Structure 1
Amino acid sequence: MLDPFDGGTHTVTMDGTKTTRPVWNGRAWLEEIEADGPNGHWEGATLFVYNAKAGQWSQMYVDGDSGGMEAPTIGSFKDGRGELFGTTVYKGRTVLVRGVWSDITANSHRYEIAYSQDGGKTWATAFKAYLTRLK
């Protein structure tokens, strides 16, 4: 969504591949993403780390073009749904960000990123991904 706070009517569709591998015997996961769309090729990487004492995951995203690392999101998975929260900068303003994993099966899941500029009262979807395992 190119305009999540303005109705989300301007979108870009991309097609790509996400490759994931465990790190530290599964206490962490490294995810590499490559996708192509009308604006060209996109690459990024995400590191997920599990904190056993807190029972929470943290997620850190690195953009392949800029090398910039976003602030981590932190949260947990329960009953087939994961929610991680943090902050990000959108158009020069710090907003809340929420990542949600849902419809999780052995071979697919859905992932959405939403932003809130009112302290989490309302959320505007900024990114949607529908992932299916290739055999």
Structure 2
Amino acid sequence: MPSRYRALLPWLAIAWLPLLPAASACAQAAQATRAGAEIPRDGQHDFDFEIGIWRTHLKRLAHPLSGSGEWAEYEGVTTVRKVWNGRANLVELTADGPGGHFEGLNLRLYNPRSRQWSLNFANSSSGTLGQPTIGQFVDGRGEFYDQEDFNGRAILVRFVITPLDADTIRFEQAFSDDGGKTWEVNWVATDTRMK
């Protein structure tokens, strides 16, 4: 190699240093793809479709896990605001019906390490956040679970979010007191986007 080019080698090496992390990430992604492994999906914008104001029709089972079939229906408004550029959001629900006035709040937080969301719910009558349900979206459908105490016994809770179309979303909560063998739906809300 001519000596005039040898003098440039240290400078060329320094010029390439900032590109090494990107080249390494590309190489790792290519290696994972070749190995058949998928690159983990980043779900931090899973709830972006829901930002806005929605008309809410809500049905709540009056006495969950009691064998009762008595439902209370409410009509209300849900407002969803983006927080932290979409890595969190705040949901406010106000509804009225024969069962009375209901105000709920849900703080949803995205964990970039686990790539999961925690849904942290509170209603105005208690003023405290409940046990968060944890989960993620798969193929556009969100499923979230937790274990909590209900009337002195441990139960499982499942919360499912299903966008039906661009302007309609269904929310469903169910309890299981037999370890997930059977589920009793106790909360169904259908949100329609207000234009």
Q: TM-score, normalised by structure 2?
A: 0.65
**Unpaired segments of 5 or more residues in structure 2?**
1-60
Aligned residues, how many?
Answer: 135
Aligned mates of 1:11, 1:31 — CA distance in 2:
23
More helix by share: 2
1:115 aligns with 2:184: no
The match for 1:48 among 91, 108, 120 is: 108
The match for 1:64 among 121, 124, 137 is: 124
Identity fraction in percent? 44
The match for 1:98 among 135, 158, 167 is: 158
1:9-30 per-position Cα deviation (integer Å, ceiling 9, x unaligned) = 1100011111000001110000
Q: Which of the two has higher C-alpha Rg?
A: 2
Runs of 4+ in 1 over 6 A off after TM superposition: none
Report if aligned partners of 2:74, 2:99 keep a CA contact under 8 Å in 1: no
**Unpaired segments of 5 or more residues in structure 1?**
none
Which amino acid is 2:160 matched to? V
Which amino acid is 1:28 matched to? A
Q: TM-score, normalised by structure 1?
A: 0.93
Q: 1:8 to 1:104 in 2, by over 3 A?
A: farther
1:48-78 per-position Cα deviation (integer Å, ceiling 9, x unaligned) = 0111221111000011122021101100001
> What's the C-alpha RMSD, in Å, of the aligned pairs?
1.4
Which amino acid is 1:113 matched to? Q
1:69-105 per-position Cα deviation (integer Å, ceiling 9, x unaligned) = 1101100001121100002332232211000011442
More strand by share: 1
Secondary structure in 1 aligned to 2:65?
Answer: helix
Match of 1:81 in 2: 141
Which amino acid is 2:169 matched to? H
Aligned mates of 1:15, 1:104 — CA distance in 2:
19
Secondary structure in 2 aligned to 1:3?
Answer: coil
| 1:4 CA drift (Å) | 3.6
